[in-house]
Each structure stands twice: as structure tokens, then as C-alpha cells.
Amino acid sequence: MTQQRCASYYTASIVQESDYPRLEGEHRVDVAIVGGGFTGVATAVELAERGYRVAIVEANRIGWGASGRNGGQVTGSLSGQDAMTRQMRHTLGDDAEAFVWNLRWRGHRIIKQRVEKYAIPCDLKHGHLQAAYKPSHIKALRQDFEASQRHAIGEHIHWLDAEAVRGVVGTELYHGAIRNDYNMHLHPLNLCLGEARAAASLGALIFEHSPVVDLEHGDTPVVVGEHGRVMADSVILAGNAYHRLERKQLKGKLFPASLGIVTTAPLSSEQVQAIDPEDLAVYDTRFVLDYYRLTADKRLLFGGGANYSGRDSDDIASELRPRLEHTFPQLEGVAIDFQWQGMAGIVINRIPQLGKLSDNVYYAQGYSGHGIATSHIVGEIMANAVSGTLEEFDAFAGVRHLRIPLDDRLGNALLAAGMWYYQLLEKLK
């Protein structure tokens, strides 16, 4: 059974809703993609621009999952980037550090160029703070800032001490910050929908309300839906935390975490000037962090915490209001107009998982809360792999991932215990 979009600020402000047909009958394409979120849609655009005949098969609607529910921040943070660099030295040698560093900013370029090329209305803005929540966080944050100065991106990045932070964000919480004016924030659902329209304009077939019930491997693999089939030369699984295909090989590698967000009523100009006069997106340096930004119509969109049980929370607004008001006491009692949650795909080592299930069936998943920019990088890498350029894909596919030999419920319980341990260590610093 397919599901409607969750009620959120994003769904209430869709510029142009999707309306693609259900998969019926038989279709033949070059590449079939299962999943209509950012990974699937970004890969489809890349392939369609190169002349491939592509089909996206989505169980619900384009951008229905985390791609249309997230915080909307496009940052250069790759989860697990240090571990990624160490692991990729096995395949890339001394080039691993430069490869991972360049990955941090590649998604920005792809998104910005695509928004301009296809005139996608998604409220794209520049400007972001990564703010030190505790004095003990300053050292690592300062090291990241200094590393940025050795690269071309450094001209867009500035260090702010505590007083300077208070000059751009109306809170007393932070002890310093990296200001990055290359980072972006945007309306993710409108971006995903706009990219789907771009793919369709290039000839891609898009099917909504079409759950995939089976995948037949072979020289010409087949994506099997409830009412139709898509035959292809290659198949890409891009469902992240939401799909349950190929569990024999993928089970125990990825775990869902529920991330909640609220959005206030529109703020007055005085309130906007008091909390975020330069329209910056912000997240802090905790292991389980808070993040926020202003929407185009000047609401505060605020997310924080994570539920690693794999189950939805009962009342997101009640959970997040104290954190919002702790950050901005001047907004005490502000009306909350929207609350929602979505499932992110968490990987134990935080390194995105790219691989093959057979010679012509690929998968990509596991961005651990950093999906907007990363999924667009992955889309380019997957398109390259299908086109026969495998160096970057192989670098990811060669990473060793821990697989937990438990069912999802027990795996999530183990993950939750691990997150509790790291949060406890953080409190002791």
C-alpha cells in the first residue's frame, strides 16, 4: 500500500506537486532506479543528460522519504570523513586525502549548477555556521578551519570567536564557529521535485505509487512491481532507510534513525533580526546535534536529537520546543505550525555504502544525516560506474563495513546503546 506525504512545512509549500503514473505493463530501459529520493533522482538526471534511457520506480511519491523531510542544509560535512580517508588509502594511496576533501564540496557545485540550468525554485541561499557547543569542541573545530585554509574553498570560510558568533546569531550558547559562505540551505522537497521534472524533460520514465516487490537478477535484470515490470541493462537500488529489498545481502549494514523537525509560525521582522539577521543556517558540534535555519517566509525551522530505536516519536513538538527555547529564549511560547519526522539511514562507521549485488545491480545508501550534498555526489559516481568509469565507485565499494548479524529491531537497540555511550562521553568532556 502506498502512502501520502507526511504533513510538513515542505509539503505545505510545494511549488509544483508530482503527478507521475503508476508502473503498469512492461518497459525496457538502459538503467532502472528503485527509489525516487535524492540518490535516485540525482542519478537519473546524470544518466539522462548523457543520453541513457532511465526509469525511476518510487513506492510513494518523488521525495516522499528523508529527501523531502530533512533540515535543508547543504554542507561540506561528510560523515566518517576521517575513517573514509584511512580506508580509501587502500585503493587510492596518497591521493585519498585529496579525494575525500574534494568530495566535501562537489555536491554543492552539482546542486547549484542544476538549480540554475533547470530553473528549479527551491529557495537556495548561501551562508552557514558550524558552532562550538562546548569550549572543549573549539580545538577540533579550529583544526577543521585551519585545514580549509589550505584548499581553494578557504576563501569562503572564516573563523568567528564567541563574541562574533553572537553578532550573527542571537544566542549565548556558542563558544566559536566556522562561518562558511559556500555552504547552502534550501527547500529540499522542491529541489527533489524540480530535479525529477528535469529528468522527465530529458526522457526519463518516472513511476509513482509503484512499490517494488521483487528484483530478478540476470543478464537483463527486472524490477518487478505490483502491476508492471521494468527490464534494464543495469539496476540501481536507491531506497536508503526505506527499502527492504535484497535483505540477504544488505541486512545489518544500515539502520534507520528517526529525525524530527518543527517549524514555527512566521516570525516578525524584529524576531528575525534578534535571532538570525544574516539568514544563516546553523548546526552545532555535538555528536547528536541541533540544527536550524529560516525558511523563505521567515519561519524558524528547527531540528534536533535523533531517535535511534528505528521507531517514530510520539510528539516531536514537545520534544523539540525545550531545545528551541533553550537556544532562543526570546522565542519562548512561539507557535509551532508544523512538526514531522523522517528516517535517515545510519551506517556504523558513517561512510556511505556503495556496492554491487551482482554484475549489473548496484546499490547506494547510508549518508548518516548528511544526505543532500552527498547524494548528489553519489549520483554522479553511480552514473560514472554505469557508464564504465569505476575508479570512484570502487574506492567506496572497497571500504570495509561492519555488518551486525541481528534483525533490525535488535540492531537498532545496539546502535541506540552506542549513541548513548558517545553522548555520555561528550558530556564528560
Query: What are the b/e assignments for 15-30, b being 16+ CB within 10 Å?
Result: eeebebeebeeebebb
What average pLDDT does range 118-125 have in this prediction?
A: 98
Q: Evaluate if residue 350 carries a pLDDT over 50.
A: yes
pLDDT (0 to 100) of residue 159: 98
DSSP one-letter code for 240: G
pLDDT for 421 equals: 42
Whether the CB-CB separation of 172 and 103 falls below 8 Å is answered with no
Mean pLDDT on 193-198: 98
d(CA 184, CA 73): 6
**pLDDT for 203-251, tens place per residue?**
999 999 999 999 999 999 999 999 999 999 999 999 876 777 776 776 6
Query: What is the widest separation between alpha-carbon atoms in the chain?
Result: 63
Q: How confident is the model at residue 69 (pLDDT cuts 50, 70, 90)?
A: very high
DSSP conformation class of 125: E
403: confidence class by pLDDT, cuts 50, 70, 90: low
Distance CA 234, CA 108 (A): 27
Residue 410 has what pLDDT? 54
The helix/strand/coil state of 17 is coil
- The DSSP 8-state label assigned to residue 403 in this structure reads -
pLDDT band at 146 (very low <50, low <70, confident <90, very high): very high
- Interval 43-47 mean pLDDT: 98
- Say which residue the cell 531540528 belongs to: 303
Mean local confidence (pLDDT), 166-193 = 97
Mean pLDDT of all residues in 368-389:
93
- Confidence category of residue 92, pLDDT binned at 50, 70, 90: confident
pLDDT at residue 86 greater than cutoff 70: yes
What pLDDT, on the 0 to 100 scale, is given for residue 429? 56
Average pLDDT value for residue range 152-170: 95
* pLDDT at res. 314: 74
* Residues 126 and 115 sit within 8 Å (Cβ to Cβ): no
- Tell me which of 16-25, 131-140, 410-419 is least confident: 410-419
Per mean pLDDT, which range of 193-197, 257-261, 263-267, 292-296 is the poorest?
257-261
Mean pLDDT across the chain, nearest whole number? 89
Residue 344 — very low, low, confident or very high, per pLDDT cuts 50/70/90?
A: confident
Instruction: State the pLDDT confidence band at 252, using cuts at 50, 70 and 90.
Output: low
Asked whether 128 and 281 are in contact (CB, 8 A), the reply is: yes
Query: Would you say 118 and 124 are in contact if contact means Cβ atoms under 8 Å apart?
Result: no
Q: Of 180, 48, 7, 198, which Cα lies nearest the Cα of 111?
A: 198
* pLDDT at residue number 80: 66
193 vs 144: which has the higher pLDDT: 193
- Where residue 290 falls among pLDDT bands split at 50, 70, 90? very high
Position 106 pLDDT exceeds 60: yes
Question: pLDDT-derived band of residue 342, with 50, 70 and 90 as boundaries?
Answer: confident
Check whether 102 has a pLDDT greater than 70. yes
Q: What is the pLDDT of residue 237?
A: 96
**Alpha-carbon 154 to chain mean position:** 24
Range in 36-50, 112-126, 325-339, 384-398 with the lowest mean pLDDT: 384-398
Residue 232 near residue 30, CB atoms below 8 Å: yes
Q: Tell me the whole-structure pTM to 2 decimals.
A: 0.92
pLDDT tens digits along 5-15: 999 999 999 99
Q: 294 is written with which cell numbers?
A: 529560516
- What pLDDT score was predicted for residue 424? 47
333: exposed, middle or buried (C-beta count within 10 Å: 0-12, 13-18, 19+)?
Answer: exposed
Looking at residue 142, its pLDDT comes to: 96
What pLDDT, on the 0 to 100 scale, is given for residue 165?
98
Q: Please tell me which residue, 182 or 312, carries the higher pLDDT value.
A: 182
Mean pLDDT of 249-275: 88
Determine the pLDDT at residue 423: 47
